Structure 1
C-alpha cells in the first residue's frame, strides 16, 4: 500500500521554521506566481499608504513676487487701458464720474502691487500713474464729445486738435475735477499697499 501522507517539509537553508511554498497537489489549474503588471500590487503585499511628512517632497516655492520693473510695467499698461475705458465712460455720459476715477486708481495700484510686491516705490509711482490715467481719461472723454459734435473720428480730434481739447479741459476744470484726480491717486496708493 502506498503512503498518502504528504512528505514533511524540508528546512530551507538550515532554518527549520521557514515556511515552505504550498504544494499545488498536482493541480494543473492552481495559480502560479507570475509577472505582476506595472502599477499593480503583488498578492500578499501591503499597498503603499500616504507618505509621511518627513519623507514627502518639498512643496514648490511660491511664485516670485517683488519684481519692481515688472510691477511698473504692469501699472503703466493698466493705467493706459483704464484711461481709455474711463474716457469712453466720460464721453458716453458727458459727466465725470468719481467712482470711475477711484476705480482707475485702484486698478492701477492693485495690479502694480500684485505683480511688483511690497516695494514702497510702487505705491508712489502707481499714484502718479493714476493721476495721469484719470487726466488722460478726461482728455479722451472730451475728445469723444467733440468728435460726436463735429462728426469726425476721436483719433482725428486727439491727434490734430489736441490743443483745443486740452484748452477745453483747462476751461472746464473745477474743484470736482481735481478732487477726482486726487481720489484716483489715493485709491492707487491704497490699492498697491493692499495687494502687496
Structure 2
C-alpha cells in the first residue's frame, strides 16, 4: 500500500495546513513535520482519508480512494479526534478498542491483553498518567487489532514528552511488521532524529 499526498493544503490562505507533500508506504516508517497545535491533526486527518483537502490530492496506490484509505488506515492518538480521555483507565481504553476490534470488551479481557504486552500493572492507571512509550505502544497495538488495518498514522507523539527515539523505534517496529507508518511530529523532534542518522 502506498499513500501519496500531493501538495495538499487546508483552510483559508492555507492557515490550517500549508501546502504539504509526502508519501508513506507498506514496510516503511515515514516522519513528517507539522508545527502548531492544529496542523498535525489536520495532516493526520488528510493522510488517513478522514478529511478532504482544499487543494492537492491524496492517492491510494496511484488512485483517488478516500473510502479505501479510511478502511485501511488507523488514525492514532490525534489530539481532539482519536486520543483517549486522560482520566479513563488504561483498561477502559483497551476494553473499548477490543470491542471495536470484535473481541470481548470486558475488564478481564483488557487485563489479559495488557498482560500479553507486559503492561498489566497499568490497567487501573488513567491513561493520561502513564509514560509516553507505554501509552504509544498500547495505542498502536490496539489500532493494529482492527480488521483490515494496513497503515498507522500517529500524530504528535512528542506532545507527551519523552525521547523521540522511543516513539521512532516503535514506528520502525510496526513498519517491520508490515504496516505503512506515518508519524507526524514537530520540527524539534525531527531535528533530534536526523542528528542520529
Q: Please indicate the TM-score interval, normalised by the length of the shorter structure.
A: under 0.3
**TM-score using structure 2 length:** 0.25
**TM-score using structure 1 length:** 0.25
Larger radius of gyration: 1
Q: Which has the higher helix share?
A: 1
